[in-house]
Amino acid sequence: MSFALYVVGMVILIGGLIYVAVLTHVHTQWIVAMVIVLAGAGLMAAVNNTKPRDSK
């Protein structure tokens, strides 16, 4: 899969979780913390799964 596909998927996931968190009246600092953690995990997963393979 491409890196862009991972990024789009993470943006959609994070957006949906933010929407649900706002509807359930979660405090803003917890929403921000959730976004930071999920963005970091998504970035690590995207880089790990899309790195070029050695062609030896």
Predicted structure pTM score = 0.80
Kindly report the backbone phi and psi dihedral angles of residue 11, in degrees, each rounded to the nearest multiple of 5, phi listed first. Answer: -65, -45
Sequential pLDDT tens for the chain (56 residues): 688 888 899 999 999 999 999 999 999 999 999 999 999 999 998 888 887 766 66
The domain ranges of the chain are 3-48
In angstroms, what is the C-alpha Rg of the chain? Answer: 14
